[in-house]
């Protein structure tokens, strides 16, 4: 069994063993550490029997679905999987999948910055790509010609990976950069054609502020003031781009972190409430029950 197949087996075991985590933190649950991997989609989905439970990891993912059907969740985005779908997932963003059939094909590529830093590639070449901005819609439906352009690059990377040449990692790094540039172009083309807004700097800043301040500030006004805009405008931008108001985005972020802590930490519910910034544990209970129609304690019990 080659190294890549071993990694898939480890994912399968981690998903099986820690499915009760709610959101599986693969940084802590995977035994094997790696900086790069690429697989054919059909092999991975077959091994996982069509189910990828909610998880997060310090890896960037680029998936090209040539054929497939199902549903996907990435962060606050929920959408259907269909043929010629490009997925770009930033590091540490929660995602999950349910394939309705194992009859699928495509590619899954993931990497972290270490893979490029080891080859003396400036990290800015990766993190500057709009496809990995947290405010960018993480999926794009491609034309046949766009899909074929990316398919050529994926096949080259797979071939280089299997070649055994001593310099293959350098070639792989170059081709991944080419892939990211091409993906960025596709996103830019969609925006320039006026079909949809792919990236908005204000929403990117909002997401960064939210990540840092969600446990201490929950009002839309706080974030709007920090961005020097009116709260109504921030709500408008958030609704237009993600289908959620800014207030809903704040609450969803808190809820995601709450579910994660309830599943993967030994903190008491009272400690979790304080950690998330609730003045009293009772307020946390009300918030959680309103969001999921159950209490934090009952939610945690269902994971045991």
Any residues with CB less than 8 A from the CB of 125 and at least 6 apart, and which? 116, 177
Q: What is the fold, at CATH topology level, of the domain defined by 201-303?
A: Arc Repressor Mutant, subunit A (1.10.10)
Which of 28, 43, 46, 60 lies closest to 265 in space, CA to CA? 28
The pLDDT, as a whole number, for residue 288 is: 93
CB 130 within 8 A of CB 180: no
Instruction: Write out the two tokens for 258.
Output: 């709450």
Domain 3-192 and domain 201-303, same fold? Reply is no
Whole-number pLDDT of residue 6:
85
Give dist(CA 273, CA 252) in Å, integer: 15
Local confidence pLDDT in tens for the 304 residues of the chain: 566 778 899 999 999 888 777 788 898 888 887 888 999 999 999 999 999 988 989 999 999 999 999 999 888 788 899 999 999 998 888 899 999 999 999 999 999 888 877 655 666 777 777 778 777 788 999 999 999 999 999 999 999 888 766 557 788 888 998 999 999 889 888 776 655 656 677 888 888 898 889 889 999 999 999 999 999 999 998 888 777 899 998 998 898 888 888 877 788 999 999 999 999 999 999 999 998 899 999 988 887 6
Q: 165: which DSSP letter?
A: -
Q: Note the Cα 12 to chain centre separation in Å.
A: 18
Residues counted in the chain: 304
Torsion angle of the four alpha carbons 78, 80, 85, 90, in this order, in degrees rounded to the nearest 10 = 20
Domain boundary assignment for the chain: 3-192, 201-303
What pTM value is reported for the model? 0.76
pLDDT of residue 202: 86
State the fold for domain 3-192.
Jelly Rolls (2.60.120)
Let me know: does 37 contact 7? Beta carbons within 8 Å: yes
């Amino acid at each position: 069994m080659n190294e890549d197949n071993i990694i898939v087996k480890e994912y399968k075991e981690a998903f099986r063993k820690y499915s009760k985590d709610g959101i599986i933190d693969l940084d802590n649950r995977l035994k094997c550490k790696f900086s790069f991997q690429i697989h054919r989609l059909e092999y991975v989905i077959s091994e996982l029997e069509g189910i990828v439970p909610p998880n997060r990891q310090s890896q960037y993912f680029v998936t090209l679905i040539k054929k497939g059907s199902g549903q996907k969740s990435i962060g606050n985005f929920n959408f259907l999987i269909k043929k010629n779908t490009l997925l770009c997932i930033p590091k540490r963003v929660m995602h999950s999948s349910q394939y309705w059939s194992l009859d699928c094909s495509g590619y899954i590529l993931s990497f972290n910055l270490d893979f490029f830093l080891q080859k003396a590639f400036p990290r800015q070449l990766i993190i500057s790509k709009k496809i990995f901005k947290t405010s960018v819609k993480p999926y794009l439906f491609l034309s046949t010609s766009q899909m074929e352009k990316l398919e050529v690059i994926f096949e080259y990377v797979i071939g280089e990976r299997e070649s055994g040449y001593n310099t293959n990692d350098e070639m792989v790094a170059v081709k991944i950069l080419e892939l990211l540039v091409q993906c960025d172009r596709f996103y830019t083309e969609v925006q320039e054609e006026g079909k949809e807004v792919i990236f908005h700097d204000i929403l990117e800043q909002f997401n960064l502020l939210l990540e840092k301040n969600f446990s201490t500030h929950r009002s839309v006004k706080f974030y709007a003031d920090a961005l020097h805009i009116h709260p109504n405008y921030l709500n408008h931008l958030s609704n237009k781009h993600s289908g959620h108001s800014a207030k809903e985005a704040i609450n969803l972020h808190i809820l995601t972190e709450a579910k994660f802590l309830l599943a993967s930490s030994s903190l008491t519910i009272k400690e979790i409430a304080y950690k998330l910034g609730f003045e009293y544990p009772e307020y946390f209970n009300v918030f959680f029950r309103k969001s999921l129609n159950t209490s934090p304690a009952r939610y945690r019990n269902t994971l045991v």
